[in-house]
Amino acid sequence: MIFLNFFSQYIKFGSYPALNTPLNPIKLSTKYHSRQDLFLQTVKCYYSFMAIRSYKDSTPVIGTNSYIDETAVIIGDVQIGSDCSIWPLTVVRGDVNSIRIGNNTNIQDGSVLHVTHDGPYDYNQGGYTLMIGSNVTVGHNVILHGCDISNNCLIGMGSTIMDGVIIKSNTIIGAGSLVSPGKELDEGCLYVGRPVKKVRQLNAKEIESIQYSANHYLKLKNTYL
């Protein structure tokens, strides 16, 4: 309770403070003065879990008007476009390769975005970056690993997209789907299953709904800024 009172009274958090945000000014009231070292250590511990972290020589770059939830973690060689939203408990880890996200893309709660390093085996020679286009909706608890997702796609909740996958524009991946390594999916189709199978072509209204989802999250994230 003392810690909660301390944080609420003396620290104002931003939307996405950087790792190296100065700790000053921090005001300690007289009743906490004898425990100053303890509180400062607590503050430093909190800041070690801040959303945006450098890794080696790479620091994430966040576009204008993008929302990063305080419980999300973004690490390393990551570039996020404008008007994006990264929602609670999401991890975007660009440590062993790069991650690029376009504009007006939303990555929803609990998703994990990672990449593959350059290794000695056939399956990871050169490694795999993660590329996500603009107007993409990534549902809750999705895993995206070293894949390429084009503009105007919707990845359903709980799906897993593996290394080397290419998903072309105007595509919907149904909830809970698995896209196996190296698959290339056709443009404008609905895919579902574990592993996924093409169900059919999307109609015009369904393609329009992908854009609607992206725009909905654009408006929603603005209420958080």
The C-alpha atoms of residue 88 and residue 73 are separated, in whole angstroms, by: 9
Q: Which domain holds residue 82?
A: 52-222
Residue 66: phi and psi, rounded to 5, are -95, 145
The per-residue pLDDT for 37 is 62
Rounded to the nearest 10 degrees, what angle do helices 36-47 and 2-10 cross at?
70
Instruction: State if pTM tops 0.85.
Output: no
The per-residue pLDDT for 16 is 37
The per-residue pLDDT for 38 is 62
Quick one: which of 33, 77, 47 has its CA closest to 59?
77
The per-residue pLDDT for 212 is 98
The C-alpha atoms of residue 106 and residue 113 are separated, in whole angstroms, by: 12
Residues 114 and 31 in one domain: no
The C-alpha atoms of residue 3 and residue 165 are separated, in whole angstroms, by: 46
Residues 106 and 190 in one domain: yes
Residues 136 and 61 in one domain: yes
The per-residue pLDDT for 150 is 98
Task: Give average pLDDT by consecutive 10-residue segment, the chain, 225 residues.
Answer: 40 36 38 57 54 94 96 97 98 97 98 93 84 98 98 98 98 98 97 98 98 98 97
Query: Which two tokens mark 152?
Result: 């105007």
Residues 74 and 122 in one domain: yes
The C-alpha atoms of residue 22 and residue 133 are separated, in whole angstroms, by: 34
Query: Which two tokens mark 63?
Result: 């576009």
**Strand 52-53 with 73-80, pairing:** parallel
Residues 26 and 113 in one domain: no
Residues 72 and 162 in one domain: yes
| Total domains, the chain | 2
Report CA-CA distances (Å) from 162 to 141, 145, 166, 167, 169.
14, 5, 10, 11, 17
60 preceded by a cis bond (ω within 30 of 0): no
Residues 132 and 185 in one domain: yes
CA atoms within 13 A on the CB side of 175: 4
Buried b (16+ CB within 10 A) or exposed e, 124-143: beeebbbbbbbbbbbbbbbb
Residues 128 and 34 in one domain: no
The per-residue pLDDT for 125 is 78
Residues 20 and 131 in one domain: no
The per-residue pLDDT for 80 is 98
Quick one: which of 146, 170, 145, 149 has its CA closest to 160?
145
Residues 217 and 124 in one domain: yes
Residues 10 and 119 in one domain: no
Residues 217 and 169 in one domain: yes
Write the CATH number for 217: 2.160.10.10
The per-residue pLDDT for 126 is 84
Report CA-CA distances (Å) from 9 to 13, 14, 34, 56.
11, 15, 17, 34
